[in-house]
Amino acid sequence: MRNFDEITITDAVIDRLSGASDRRAAEVSAALVRHLHAFVREVRPTIEEWERGIAFLTDTGKMCTNTRQEFVLLSDTLGVSMLVDAINHGAAQGVTESTVLGPFYVEGPPEKGSGENISGGLVGDPLIVTGTVNAPDGTPIRGAVVDVWHSDGDGYYDVQQFEETGGLAMRARFSTDGDGKFSFWSIRPAAYPIPHDGPVGAMLEKQGRHPWRPAHIHFMISAPGYRKLVTHVFAEGDKYLDTDVVFGVKDSLVREFIEMPAGQAPDGLIQNSPFFHLHYDFGLHLS
């Protein structure tokens, strides 16, 4: 077969997949060719535009390191990560909704006991976070592993400012008690822009978009017999809730970080100055 034109080239490429031994690989490849060709037929790029597209993908790859995944950032900012999340995690009664993982998770965070302060000595508005982890029917889960991580009051994670923090901070691993409860002290996080000094930042600029995410705290929760939950809790009232650059906000994940006067905190500690309190009850899906 030869002499393909704008239309016949698509089936010619798909026909060439008939020898694939892996059915899923053939299915995914055929869909990729079909949609990619349709995209090119719609856009009708000039040769220079095609070269710019190749250069963009090349730069995106070159930006990737062990600690920077520009392709995931591209997926996040084009809404693909949340689309994959929606396909794989439908809403279910008693189960907390999920959202993107993001690039700032660190494997094996420091293990802390209930009520410990994880701020690493960073200055900010004191915040106590209390929560529970439950089965879909509301039964508390004992021994659930709760990983948390968040930014500081200027919007920076520890991994972006090791000179200041001197190591990991504002991240930890907790284990729920017999009532499914956990709690910790830290500082109130702020909204922040995603890393936008690379090709994805340039893309956002061209698209007339800002790079900001509303203030949030990340949670990754697992327990035997349940699906791992990857989610955040967002700060009610944040000005970026409706324009999150990665489309990750769901109403069910928004909570007030309640400002409390000096006095007794929910864990019984006496605070000499005002502080904030966030509470969330998480529900895990049976596996």
Q: Which residues bind Fe ion (CB under 5 A)?
A: 102
Smallest gap from Cβ 218 to Fe ion, in A, equals: 6
Cα–Cα distance measured from residue 52 to residue 45, given in angstroms and rounded to the nearest whole number = 10
Tell me the C-alpha to C-alpha distance, in Å, between residue 75 and each of 62, 69, 81, 282.
Answer: 16, 10, 5, 27
Partner whose footprint covers residue 246, from ligand BEZ, Fe ion, none (CB < 5 to 8 Å by kind):
ligand BEZ
Cα–Cα distance measured from residue 254 to residue 275, given in angstroms and rounded to the nearest whole number = 19
Residue closer to ligand BEZ (CB basis): 30 or 204:
204
Smallest gap from Cβ 241 to ligand BEZ, in A, equals: 13
Residue closer to Fe ion (CB basis): 103 or 115:
103
Tell me the C-alpha to C-alpha distance, in Å, between residue 255 and each of 50, 185, 196.
Answer: 45, 17, 27
In the complex, the residues that contact ligand BEZ under the rule CB under 6 A are 73, 76, 100, 102-104, 194, 213, 246
Compute the 3-state secondary structure of the chain and give helix, strand, coil in percent, each to the nearest 5.
30, 25, 45
Partner whose footprint covers residue 95, from ligand BEZ, Fe ion, none (CB < 5 to 8 Å by kind):
none
Residue closer to ligand BEZ (CB basis): 247 or 276:
247
Residue closer to Fe ion (CB basis): 102 or 201:
102
Phi first, then psi: give them for residue 194, nearest 5 degrees.
Answer: -65, 160
Smallest gap from Cβ 173 to ligand BEZ, in A, equals: 17
Partner whose footprint covers residue 156, from Fe ion, ligand BEZ, none (CB < 5 to 8 Å by kind):
none
DSSP character for 282?
E
Smallest gap from Cβ 125 to Fe ion, in A, equals: 18
- The terminus-to-terminus CA distance of the chain in angstroms comes to 49
Partner whose footprint covers residue 194, from ligand BEZ, Fe ion, none (CB < 5 to 8 Å by kind):
ligand BEZ
Phi first, then psi: give them for residue 218, nearest 5 degrees.
Answer: -85, 145
Residue closer to ligand BEZ (CB basis): 76 or 238:
76
